[in-house]
Amino acid sequence: MSDKTNIVLTGVGGQGIITAANILGKASVNAKINVFTSEAHGMAQRGGTVICTVRMGNVSSPLIPSGSADVILSMEPIEALRYITYANKKTKVITDINPIIPFTVAVGGCAYPNLEDVFKEIRSLAELYKIDALKLAKESGHIITKNIVMLGALAATDILPFKSDILLDIILDNVPERYKDINKKAFNSGIRAIKNLKDFLS
Amino acid sequence: MMEITKDMVGERILLLGNEAITRGALEAGIDVVTTYPGTPSSEIADTFSKIAKHATKQDRDPGFYFEYSTNEKVALEIAAATSFAGLRALTCMKHVGLNVASDAFMTYLYLGCKGGHVIVSADDPYCHSSQNEQDNRYFALFGNAPMLEPATPQEAKEMTRLGFELSEKLQIPLLLRTTTRLNHARGPITLEKLQKPRRKGHFERDSSLVAMPNTARVKHSALLKKMKQAEKISEKSPFNTIIHIGKPKNIGIVTSGVSFNYVRETAEVLKLDVKILKIGMTHPLPRMMCENFIKSLNTLVIVEELEPILEQQFKAIAHDIQSDVKIYGKSTGHFSRLYEYTPDIVAEVLSKIFKVKNPFPKPVQPKLELPSRPPTLCPGCPHRATYYAVKKAAPKGTIYPTDIGCYTLGKAPPLETADLLLCMGSNASTACGFAIATNQKIVSFMGDSTFFHSGIPPIVDAVHHNHNCTITVLDNRTTAMTGHQPHPGTEYNGMGRPARLIKVEDVIKGLGILHVEIVDPNNIKETTSAFKRSLEFKGPSVVISKSPCILLELQRKKKSGEEIPVYSIDQEKCKQCKTCISQFGCPAFYFAEDESIHIDGTQCNGCGNCVQICPFEAIYTKEESK
């Protein structure tokens, strides 16, 4: 077991990626484990690609060396592939399956690749876990909880150096009373989605 | 109770580097904070603003005065005066903001401060959100300012807190130089006691504070003496330390700021036997400490982002003490003067120098070609409507000087309304220049916050010299790009208190612009006509395009329960002329696989401007709200 936990969070500006990174950081502090995160702000947030990194344990830098991520958690399929440079064969790439077509496709003549090809390439370089986080978020009560579904999925991988309850507590601490229930549902549905996939694979 | 204002000594909380600077100032009993927003510095001031607004809501004093100033120069000058009255002040800005403030900065250092004054420069290696990646450490050397450079959020807090003491002791304003990877990194912080601020000072008359030739000569000499004293402090500073990795003999690394994090981790992973001189107080350097470090080595590697500032100084010291230490860095071609460093870059270079295997795998690149995903103007952004109208009104060959804000994103296809950008305020001055140099039509763009920041002087020039150009103020009632901060054109200030709203049009008219058009860009036909009339006018004309930022509008509508319509395309009526995509460029539109055009309901913000531009009346509102 390594003394470092390296997580890449990615997706498109507005999908709650910074929030998710912040939640992971706070949970780590609560678990009394050293943590650094790095975020994208400013110009990068207007619908552009976003990457945040979270590192726990014996780390000095918030940036992750290439090929050293334990998990790449992606809110959008091609964004997972865009940052595949952080992956090695053992990296778990967890991605939502719902594409967000960049506007460059409509105006620029470049194409959004075939999703199966995207998944195939990820699978050739790392361990792929696909989940329909958007659907799970909707079922939990609101699409805005998609990042929470993804955090549930992350918790189910057992790579976090603390119990998933600590993570859920932080999530619930940060939302108003009336949203606690849907966030809890979203988190648990993410956990279940990965457990089901694991059962299916084993 | 906000977490950042907790008075729990010893408790550990997670803070952004920028928030840690705010906390450090609170622990130093900060009295006055001034700023102009700019990435990556913005959250320092925004956190003060949040604390102040929170207090205002509860009808109590937050303990400090805070303002978003008109620009960085104004911010620095206001804070300087409060320091001369004995108060502790903090002024924060992005790196290029210090260019704006530099006129005050250079002479302020001569005069020296009274109350501790920490000036934060947030540099942006790699230009994540900036027009250049200048290295502001040169400002400390240029003007003789003591400088601290934190590597982690915890250190940022400590350096801010102790920076006030240092500044007060030396009676010089201090430069806290940060970079994006510190500003926007989160880490655990150990809380210290909050200090009570003084809030009111007193100014004692002192003739040496009037910078004139005779006083300046005396003050320059005094400043150099103070910097000698600063060097002594640097020798004993807890921020300058030597860290041993493995069993080091005669190999050393000098580093500062975030580079230290990469060096430490990489040295451990590469299993190097090396001592690291981590310099936190980077100006003035602890000369004796550096000499002794060099003397203990035969190989020295210098790891610093951007300019070879430490490298040149270490080379000079090595030369002075006739050391034959081998120095590796930028001059030997091992490290780059470009962009930011990463653990990969540091590992690659150190493994090359020390001839060990780099354990990090070579980065794999995806074979599939991925479409780029650059930032764009939001769906419903009023700037898009203005740009669309301008393109309808202006002839081919029109020059579009632009400025700094969200609207710079108009550079991208299909709008392509950005031809030249230097810095804040440059749109209108470069418009004047093009009016002198060419017979082309000129339409320039700036935001409302930029207008107040530095857009007014060039308009004065345009009026006085009668330059034939059209200057547009995109008045969206906020400083949008940096996070919706208020500015002189808003009716509240950074402390959440009512403020006198200055209307852009009142200023413009007062400046003597004879042709002024005020339009709502969401009426595209009228906006187009207004630009046509302005372009026909001989002499300088101004179009004020007024419509609030769509993100603020959405917030307002959600709060008031107002319905946000969602638009759709009637596939029967759509003739696929593509005006909505190839001319208007709203990112909510997309092609389906059969080439039919649709609106993504999750992205549409309900501005409805597409209805006006569709030649076939194919766009309609769905009954259901979002």
Same domain, residue pair B171 and B304: no
CA dihedral B517, B519, B521, B525 (to 10 degrees): -80
Strand partners, A54: A7, A37
B372 inside 8 A of chain A by CB: yes
| Residue at B218 is within a domain | yes
Domains and CATH numbers, chain A: 4-201 (3.40.920.10)
- Write the DSSP symbol of residue A75: S
State whether B582 and A107 contact (CB < 8 Å).
yes
| Residue at B73 is within a domain | yes
Question: What is the model's pLDDT at position B242?
Answer: 98
Same domain, residue pair B297 and B426: no
CB B143 within 8 A of CB B104: no
B499 CB-side CA count, 13 A: 18
Tens digits of per-residue pLDDT, B560-581? Answer: 999 999 999 999 999 999 999 9
3-state secondary structure of B248: coil
State whether B365 and A85 contact (CB < 8 Å).
yes
- Reported residue count of chain A is 202
Least confident range from B48-62, B510-524, B589-603: namely B589-603
* Neighboring chain A residues of B378 at a CB cutoff of 8 Å: 46-47
Tell me the average pLDDT across B417-428.
98
Q: How far apart are CA A70 and CA B244, in angstroms?
A: 29
Same domain, residue pair B464 and B421: yes
Q: How far apart are CA B604 and CA B35, in angstroms?
A: 34
The closest CB to that of A46, out of B362, B406, B591, belongs to: B406
Same domain, residue pair B211 and B311: no
Domain of residue B425, CATH code: 3.40.50.970
Q: Which of B184, B204, B234 is the last residue of a domain?
A: B234
The token pair at B125 is 């290696």
- DSSP characters over B46-112: HHHHHHHHHHHHTTS--SSEEEE-SSHHHHHHHHHHHHHTT--EEEEEEHHHHHHHHHHHHHHHHH-
State whether B371 and A78 contact (CB < 8 Å).
yes
Question: What is the model's pLDDT at position B491?
Answer: 96
Q: In what order do the strands lie in the sheet with B443-447?
A: B443-447, B470-475, B541-546, B515-519
Residue A103 has pLDDT above 60, yes or no: yes
pLDDT band at A43 (very low <50, low <70, confident <90, very high): low
The chain B residue lying nearest A4, using CA atoms, is B265
Burial class (CB in 10 A: 0-12, 13-18, 19+), B401: buried
Question: What is the model's pLDDT at position B253?
Answer: 98
pLDDT band at A42 (very low <50, low <70, confident <90, very high): low
3-state secondary structure of A5: strand
Task: Count interface pairs A-B at CB distance under 8 A.
Answer: 175
Q: Chain A window 64-123: which residues touch B at a Cβ cutoff of 8 Å? A: 64-68, 78-79, 81-82, 84-85, 87-88, 101-108, 110-113, 117-118, 121
Same domain, residue pair B254 and B308: yes
ipTM of the complex model? 0.95
Same domain, residue pair B149 and B290: no
| Residue at B399 is within a domain | yes
State whether B184 and A65 contact (CB < 8 Å).
no
Domain of residue B590, CATH code: 3.30.70.20
The closest CB to that of B378, out of A26, A47, A112, belongs to: A47
Same domain, residue pair B497 and B599: no
Residue A202 has pLDDT above 70, yes or no: no
Note down the domain range covering B57. Answer: 3-234
CB B435 within 8 A of CB B461: no
Tens digits of per-residue pLDDT, A141-192? Answer: 999 999 999 999 999 998 999 999 999 999 999 899 999 999 999 999 999 9
Q: Chain A window 2-31: which residues touch B at a Cβ cutoff of 8 Å? A: 12-13, 21-22, 25-26, 28-29
pLDDT band at A107 (very low <50, low <70, confident <90, very high): confident
Residue B113 has pLDDT above 60, yes or no: yes
Tens digits of per-residue pLDDT, B538-550? Answer: 999 999 999 999 9
* Neighboring chain B residues of A143 at a CB cutoff of 8 Å: 602
Domain of residue B288, CATH code: 3.40.50.920
User: Which residues, 6 or more positions from A45, have their beta carbon under 8 angstroms from its beta carbon?
Assistant: A13, A14, B375
Same domain, residue pair B407 and B463: yes
State whether A41 and B184 contact (CB < 8 Å).
yes
Is the C-alpha dihedral spanning B418, B421, B427, B433 positive or negative?
negative
The chain B residue lying nearest A49, using CA atoms, is B373
Chain centroid to CA B35: 11
* Neighboring chain A residues of B186 at a CB cutoff of 8 Å: 21-22, 25, 35-39, 62
Domain count, chain B: 4
| Residue at B292 is within a domain | yes
Question: What is the model's pLDDT at position B114?
Answer: 97
State whether A113 and B368 contact (CB < 8 Å).
yes
User: Which residues, 6 or more positions from B271, have their beta carbon under 8 angstroms from its beta carbon?
Assistant: B246, B356
| Residue at B53 is within a domain | yes
